[in-house]
């Protein structure tokens, strides 16, 4: 497998992204997934790296036509000479990895998928997570904060894409990710990043109250 070809394809597919799911996000996820895999000492490297690079390119928040994106990806995987069994593993992972698709029922991913899911979720928290949340909020037209919006307790897939404030997104999702990590190595990294987000929120509300 020629990873440079995969990188080039993904870069082209995500070139117009302005939701925080650009090539740099995908590359951070691939690097983190590789690090987690080495620490755990398990998982198929090729499946992990390919799933990490490809995890956002058939997602409806990034591409308009998901069926078309899937067909193109199947063609590409064949062209890159990825064996059929591995193609199936990759599809199984990238079709079930997202937070919103696991709200109703948790899908059991193979270890390679668990690693990529942890890496993706680590990129949603900490300093980078804060930056991405506000970037996405701007794209979606969501306010920074407004206490007329309530924090929803048990999110459904529909709720998830409905309007709310970026600050509420921390309470509805981002602060919960630490306990949802599949692997202990990711949980440890998540702990530090979650602590940092809590400090940020404390500071945010201190400043907010001065204006009340």
**Which run of H or E residues covers position 133?**
helix 126-140
**101, 79 contact by CB (below 8 A):** no
Residues 14-33 touching ligand ADP, rule: CB under 6 A, are 20
Comparing every residue's Cβ against Ni ion, the nearest one is 120
Determine which residue in the list 99, 113, 194, 197 makes contact with ligand ADP, applying CB under 6 A: 99
Cα–Cα nearest to 168, from 144, 199, 195, 141: 144
Determine which residue in the list 132, 155, 186, 189 makes contact with ligand ADP, applying CB under 6 A: 132
Cα–Cα distance measured from residue 182 to residue 118, given in angstroms and rounded to the nearest whole number: 6
Cα angle 175, 141, 103 (rounded to 5 degrees) comes to 40
- Please compute, for residue 8, the number of CA atoms within 13 A of its CA located in the half-sphere on the CB side: 6
Q: Does 133 bind ligand ADP (CB under 6 A)?
A: yes
Q: Does 182 bind ligand ADP (CB under 6 A)?
A: no
Residues 148-177 touching ligand ADP, rule: CB under 6 A, are 164, 166, 169
Least distance from C-beta 106 to ligand ADP, angstroms?
13
Contacts with ligand ADP by CB under 6 A lie at 20, 61, 98-100, 124, 129, 132-133, 136-137, 142, 164, 166, 169
């Amino acid at each position: 497998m020629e990873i440079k070809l995969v990188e080039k394809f993904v870069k082209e597919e995500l070139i117009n992204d302005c939701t925080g799911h650009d090539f740099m996000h995908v590359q951070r996820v691939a690097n983190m997934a590789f690090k987690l895999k080495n620490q755990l000492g398990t998982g198929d490297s090729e499946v992990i790296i390919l799933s990490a690079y490809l995890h956002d390119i058939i997602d409806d928040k990034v591409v308009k036509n998901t069926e078309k994106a899937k067909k193109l990806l199947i063609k590409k995987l064949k062209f890159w000479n990825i064996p059929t069994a591995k193609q199936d593993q990759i599809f199984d992972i990238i079709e079930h990895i997202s937070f919103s698709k696991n709200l109703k029922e948790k899908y059991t991913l193979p270890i390679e998928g668990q690693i990529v899911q942890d890496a993706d979720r680590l990129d949603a928290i900490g300093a980078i997570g804060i930056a991405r949340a506000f970037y996405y909020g701007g794209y979606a037209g969501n306010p920074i904060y407004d206490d007329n919006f309530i924090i929803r307790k048990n999110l459904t897939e529909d709720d998830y894409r409905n309007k709310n404030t970026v600050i509420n997104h921390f309470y509805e999702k981002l602060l919960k990710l630490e306990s949802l990590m599949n692997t202990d190595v990711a949980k440890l990294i998540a702990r530090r990043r979650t602590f940092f987000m809590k400090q940020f929120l404390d500071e945010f509300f201190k400043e907010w109250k001065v204006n009340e």
